[in-house]
Amino acid sequence: MSNIESGLGDELVSVCRTVVGDELRSITCFTDDGVEQVYLRSDLDRTADLVGFAKVERTGFDAVAKYSGTQLGDYHATVRMFEHGYLTRIVVDRIGVWVTTDVMSMERFEELASALKPVLEEHTTDTVFE
């Protein structure tokens, strides 16, 4: 967590571990200019293309505005399904986090998004990466 604002990485890990528990695989924080993995479960390899993932997940910055005012209501999070688990993306302003998990119930994704949103709201893009 060398480039993440002091305390933010620890807070993200704490919130995710509380909500997700042992199903937590990884946590990555991103902005327009940076990306950093703040947690990776010990049984997983560090082979993910974080820059490539960030490029895809940054589309969430525009999704908040594009979905605003729709009959679906405010945008909360995106959940992507994969063969070995899920990726959940939460964005607030120009700060985002994606969390990967093993398979778990949909209610837990809702809890995860609700728990992470206030953490991101406390930070500005100017202070996320030191």
The tens digit of pLDDT for each residue in 41-100 reads 999 999 889 999 999 999 999 888 888 889 998 888 999 999 999 999 999 988 999 999
Q: What is the pLDDT of residue 105?
A: 85
* Cβ atoms < 10 Å from Cβ of 14: 12
Chain-centroid distance of CA 87 in Å reads 8
What is the CATH code of the structural domain delimited by 8-102+116-128?
3.30.450.30
Q: Supply 102's token pair.
A: 């093993």
Domain coordinates of the chain in residue numbers? 8-102+116-128
Angle between helices 106-121 and 8-20 (to 10 degrees): 160
Q: What is the pLDDT of residue 63?
A: 87
Residue 10 has pLDDT above 80, yes or no: yes
